Structure 1
């Protein structure tokens, strides 16, 4: 495996994971990873079935630093966060992102007007295409309101949970709104995450799909990050060889790892 940095990881500090952070690290060591970046969920105002997705950042940082010291010299551990982006929360996101010394910040669209595509009610009263378009149209709006992020997570996340997933989905079908989203990334200096969980979700590819990655490259995008979005040890670095092949086919030769919010480029 030539991609040895997994830059999208969740542990029990995130509401949707039960995995102890140390068990995630031990699995990373078994896989031969050289870097792991934890990116616990901070979705301000988001409640899923009454569960808050706002990480206790003080407790997270304290636990992280203890393990960073314990594993010093064995693996590089990086302190990150995954911010759920909605334009209405821009003031909170600005203050929060500057209050902590993160190495890496992922910005992700997890909700549209407070509704998560993970749940069926997101699709009620509209077609799948209308739901997908509503999701994609929020990306430039989110970045216009708040852009202090390093990469945009799983840009076509919505297709993981649509009624037909990606069977009736293509870049060409949504080219107008997807190109606007990619242009916003480039204008704001935000990278594109290649999230391998799409394979686990039965899409047969990463999020985003190959044609979006090619379009990002064609439009001048240069920064790609790679993450498994693992919430349990068994998913760490999942399908990274497939991701490497995907990136090479799309014209990339390097991927980025962020330290102290600055990209460092590693050869694929």
Structure 2
């Protein structure tokens, strides 16, 4: 039986830990994983300026080749013990579709796996990283007008990511589709999310894509649930959308996080 973690970060992540790649692999082996995907945050598209206060959302272009070399090195080191995939988490940024397609044409040939995620949403000419901090999210509420309007903008952007033509190397797995829930226990949503999520799942099914069943939200004190929660997973399963567990680990101790709270076991 394949036991896979399809969403793992590395010391190449500027906002992660410096835990070595080998430590991630050894921990994965101890947890019984037979396959893992390193999915580092891909360099942001040409011309896009990281709007987070620390500007540490993604790996730099200067680190890209070294990242591939490191993953290839450990592939050989652990051959026969565990299947290791070289992957990326690609940011979908509205308005930068062409630049993202060009980047994927460069990056894609060296990838075994990839995730397409939305972290940044657009309001006119402004871009905001919605999962940066609760303080930042509170400022966004003032800009967008309400929590509900942020959710609407987020789900619209995820839908755009599913529909976008990003070329032959477009990732086929959609990342943490309810990431907007990260601070929900402080900033609750009042409305019916099904009106946005149900059609979104239909689009994902139509495109033949997978869902990242992400355990990281369970460890976030203002979220305390997987991305996405059970009711979304139930709808996805009815549609027979493939689910791939991802710890979204940014440090070794986070491998396997949330797995005990998932609706299905992997």
- Category of TM-score, reference length = shorter chain: 0.7 to 0.9
Matches within 5 A, 1:194-209: 194-202=213-221, 203-209=223-229
**CA deviation after TM superposition for structure 1 residue 193, in Å:** 1.2
Segments of 4+ moved more than 4 angstroms: none
| Partner in structure 1 of residue 34 of structure 2 | 34
Q: Report the secondary structure of 1:87's partner residue.
A: coil
Change (3 A) 1:212 1:241: same
Given the two structures, how large is their TM-score scaled by the length of structure 2? 0.83
**CA deviation after TM superposition for structure 1 residue 93, in Å:** 2.1
**CA deviation after TM superposition for structure 1 residue 242, in Å:** 2.5
**CA deviation after TM superposition for structure 1 residue 187, in Å:** 2.1
Alpha carbons 1:116, 1:122 under 8 Å: kept: no
Q: How many residues align?
A: 242
Alpha carbons 1:3, 1:241 under 8 Å: kept: no
1:59 aligns with 2:66: yes
**CA deviation after TM superposition for structure 1 residue 29, in Å:** 1.9
Q: Report the secondary structure of 2:96's partner residue.
A: helix
Rounded Cα–Cα distance in structure 2 between residues aligned with 1:3 and 1:235: 20
| Partner in structure 2 of residue 132 of structure 1 | 151
Q: Deviations over 1:194-218 (max 9, x none)?
A: 1011111133321101111122233
1:15 aligns with 2:14: yes
1:178 aligns with 2:197: yes
Q: Report the secondary structure of 2:128's partner residue.
A: coil
Q: Report the secondary structure of 2:142's partner residue.
A: coil
Q: Deviations over 1:4-63 (max 9, x none)?
A: 211100011112112221221121122221111100002433522242414432111011
Alpha carbons 2:39, 2:88 under 8 Å: kept: yes
Change (3 A) 1:225 1:46: farther
What value does the CA root-mean-square deviation take over the aligned residues? 2.2
Rounded Cα–Cα distance in structure 2 between residues aligned with 1:58 and 1:103: 15
**CA deviation after TM superposition for structure 1 residue 235, in Å:** 0.5
| Partner in structure 2 of residue 253 of structure 1 | none
From 230, 242, 255, give the equivalent of 1:223.
Answer: 242
Alpha carbons 1:87, 1:145 under 8 Å: kept: no
From 227, 237, 247, give the equivalent of 2:264.
Answer: 247
Rounded Cα–Cα distance in structure 2 between residues aligned with 1:221 and 1:149: 19
The structure carrying a bigger strand percent of its residues is: 1
Given the two structures, how large is their TM-score scaled by the length of structure 1? 0.82
